[in-house]
């Protein structure tokens, strides 16, 4: 919807293993980023040593995401709350 995300801090929760057209996800994330104040992506795998965001969904969306955050523990979710408050 037009204006729904305007100046909002948007939080996406996903592991990046999207099914479907990753290009469409990239386009829509770019559109969301143009509207939103900040786009944060929380990924449960991002906290693992050696993790690289190479899955098709996250690779397509990553250029349009302000921060990629881990989401595998309470401590990482507390970091998310700090990021939202600073956005």
Map out the domains of the chain as residue ranges. 1-67
Determine the 3-state secondary structure of 25 from DSSP.
helix
| Radius of gyration of the CA atoms of the chain, in A | 13
Percent of the chain having pLDDT more than 90? 63
Q: Could you give the CA distance from residue 83 to residue 41 in angstroms, rounded to a whole number?
A: 11
* Burial status of residue 80 (CB atoms within 10 A of its CB: 0-12, 13-18, 19 or more): middle
∠ CA(65), CA(28), CA(83), 5° rounding? Answer: 25
User: pLDDT confidence of 1, banded at 50, 70, 90?
Assistant: low
Average pLDDT across the chain, whole number: 90
């Amino acid at each position: 919807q037009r204006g729904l995300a305007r100046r909002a801090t948007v939080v996406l929760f996903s592991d990046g293993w999207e099914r479907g057209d990753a290009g469409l996800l990239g386009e829509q994330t770019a559109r969301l980023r143009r509207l939103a104040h900040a786009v944060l992506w929380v990924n449960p795998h991002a906290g693992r040593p050696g993790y690289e965001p190479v899955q098709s969904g996250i690779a397509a969306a990553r250029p349009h995401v302000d921060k990629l955050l881990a989401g595998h523990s309470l401590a990482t979710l507390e970091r998310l709350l700090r990021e939202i408050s600073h956005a």
